[in-house]
């Protein structure tokens, strides 16, 4: 009896540790799973996610690679075609552009080009987002680019539960899955279930119920939306907050159901405004939910500049809570 009670107790960990536990669980459950990427072994990962896994599982399953994203991503594709379940770690999303040919022209298209004969069960993880003063080659949010590509799924876990639970669901998918982990979240901590359940990667989630406006976001910006909603509630404005979780496929139903209730929508996206995932979401709302809107859809995105290094400029380039609050108040009350 005491053992059962102890097993049911939640565990306290960071986002980084939640991802590590997801990796550890996958490696234990399936001998076909292995992790490969730059510094994932002896160094423990550029962001410390895989620390200790080399000692636990050995170099056959935790593989340090050369600095060649195209090469080791291609090796991951080959391993997936050969029956393995590789997890490829790309240090930052900016560096993934060096492997874009492998991801877009090979992994995403192989099932189609083989006439449905060959799936590519590959998972690619990478850091994304700004806010850590890592300058323009390490700080952008390009997950919206990848959401443009048929043949892959694009996941953006924001919570500890999703960071812990999405990986196994992704590994069970027969097709390529990209997981974007915002580097600002790695130190976030909290309590989660000791026995996490699988995460449905095809559905968005309402993180806060509301009636006056729908705030749509994902990854680190989700928490800015939640903070803004708390402040707005003190002024009598109840914001519903939706965590997209997955950028491809988008869960239109959850978004449209919320907007039918609130009649207003604000999209918060760390990507650039032009050609962004926020533009796609806005278009879908206009196409499928136009008559539910009382005012036009608003978007709050990153400034159209390479990410600055200086802290005050970087913060000015990113969406902020104050901007969300100001935008919502203007939409609901007609003035700032």
CA 335 – CA 99 distance, rounded (Å): 47
Q: Note whether 69 and 35 are within 8 A (CB).
A: no
Residue 43 sits at the vertex; the CA angle it makes with 42 and 45, to the nearest 5 degrees, is: 115
CA 54 – CA 28 distance, rounded (Å): 13
Measured in degrees and rounded to the nearest 5, phi and psi for residue 35 equal -115, 135
CA 183 – CA 150 distance, rounded (Å): 26
Q: Which among 94, 48, 42 has a CA at the least distance from the CA of 65?
A: 42
What CA dihedral angle connects 185, 191, 194 and 195, to 10 degrees?
-70
CA 104 – CA 152 distance, rounded (Å): 9
Instruction: List, by residue number, the catalytic residues.
Output: 69, 138
Structure tokens at 241: 């907050």
| Sign (positive or negative) of CA dihedral 134, 14, 242, 25 | positive
Examine residue 249 and say whether the peptide bond preceding it is cis (omega within 30 degrees of 0): yes
Burial string for 288-307 (b: 16+ CB within 10 Å, else e) reads: ebeebbeeebbbbbbeeeeb
Helix/strand/coil for 218 = coil
Q: Judging by DSSP bridges, how do beta strands 11-14 and 189-192 pair with one another?
A: antiparallel
């Amino acid at each position: 009896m005491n053992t059962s009670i102890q097993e049911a107790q939640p565990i306290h960990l960071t986002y980084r540790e939640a991802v590590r536990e997801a990796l550890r669980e996958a490696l234990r459950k399936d001998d076909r799973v292995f992790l490969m990427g730059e510094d994932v072994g002896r160094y423990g990962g550029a962001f410390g996610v895989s620390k200790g896994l080399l000692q636990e599982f050995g170099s056959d399953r935790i593989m340090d690679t050369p600095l060649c994203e195209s090469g080791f991503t291609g090796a991951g594709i080959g391993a997936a075609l050969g029956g393995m379940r590789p997890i490829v770690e790309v240090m930052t999303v900016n560096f993934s552009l060096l492997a874009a040919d492998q991801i877009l022209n090979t992994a995403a298209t192989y099932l189609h080009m083989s006439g449905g004969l060959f799936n590519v069960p590959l998972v690619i993880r990478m850091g994304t987002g700004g806010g850590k003063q890592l300058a323009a080659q390490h700080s952008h949010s390009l997950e919206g680019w990848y959401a443009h590509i048929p043949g892959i799924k694009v996941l953006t876990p924001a919570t500890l539960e999703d960071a812990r639970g999405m990986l196994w669901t992704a590994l069970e998918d027969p097709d390529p899955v990209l997981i974007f982990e915002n580097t600002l979240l790695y130190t976030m901590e909290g309590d989660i279930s000791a026995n996490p359940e699988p995460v449905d990667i095809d559905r968005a989630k309402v993180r806060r119920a509301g009636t006056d406006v729908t705030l749509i976001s994902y990854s680190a910006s989700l928490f800015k939306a939640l903070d803004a909603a708390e402040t707005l509630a003190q002024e009598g404005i109840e914001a519903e907050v939706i965590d997209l979780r997955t950028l491809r496929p988008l869960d239109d139903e959850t978004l449209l159901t919320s907007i039918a209730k609130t009649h207003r929508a604000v999209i918060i996206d760390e990507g650039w405004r032009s050609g962004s995932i926020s533009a796609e979401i806005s278009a879908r709302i206009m196409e499928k939910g136009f008559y539910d809107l009382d005012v036009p859809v608003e978007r709050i995105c990153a400034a159209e500049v390479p990410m600055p290094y200086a802290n005050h400029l970087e913060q000015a380039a990113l969406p902020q809570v104050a901007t969300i609050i100001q935008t919502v108040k203007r939409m609901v009350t007609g003035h700032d």
